[in-house]
Amino acid sequence: MIVVGVGVGPGMLTEEGIAAIKSASVVYGSGRALELAKPYISENTPVDTIKDYKNIHLLPADAVILSTGDPMFSGLGKFATENDVVIPGISSFQVACARLKVNLTNFSCVTAHGRKEIDSARDELIREIGFGKNVFLLPDEKFGAVEVCSVLKELGVEADVYSLEELGYPEERIIKGNVENPPEPESDLYGLMIVLKN
């Protein structure tokens, strides 16, 4: 299979990704991924929504599988084998750093999204903060802005905490908070950026 990152929002597909989509014999993806790629999918190309992500390895070898953001950042690239191709996309992390004008080099990325064990995301957050790293976190409904700020408060950490919602879309919204006053996201489609104060 060919896993193509469609970017975090409209207009963020790479030329390599567009070329793969245009020449695809069949395209699979989530509703949002298909919508982002729609302008590049030939009207004769079969399109289907992925219903069971655990079985995408059973799809044809030449199938294009769309992954929102970047496939290797909490995306469908985790299902790729050594025989598959992964084409990167622009991730929410990259867009967040660009919007806030912060350097990517002192960040760790943590994902709580879709994890059965939220404690592992919490432990990873604590470890990376302990290393003095800023953190970009993909939250989960059980581990969002309030819970993250509670952990930071327990650790005695001072930080700016940003909620970055609907990145790349017209309704994009960035809210700045801190450990004492967590940002309150209005959308389920958001990331958290924790920037430590020195």
Q: The dihedral of CA 83, 16, 34, 104: what is its sign?
A: positive
Among 90-104, 116-130, 140-154, 170-184, the least confident range: 116-130
What's the predicted TM-score (pTM) here? 0.89
Residue bearing the bigger pLDDT, 136 or 121? 136
Write out pLDDT tens, residues 8-17.
Answer: 999 999 999 9
Predicted local distance difference test score (pLDDT) of residue 48: 92
Which domains occur in the chain, in start order?
A: 2-90 (3.40.1010.10), 93-196 (3.30.950.10)
Answer yes or no: are the C-beta atoms of 196 and 132 closer than 8 Å: yes
Q: The dihedral of CA 178, 181, 184, 189: what is its sign?
A: positive
Phi, psi angle pair for 107, to nearest 5°: -120, 150
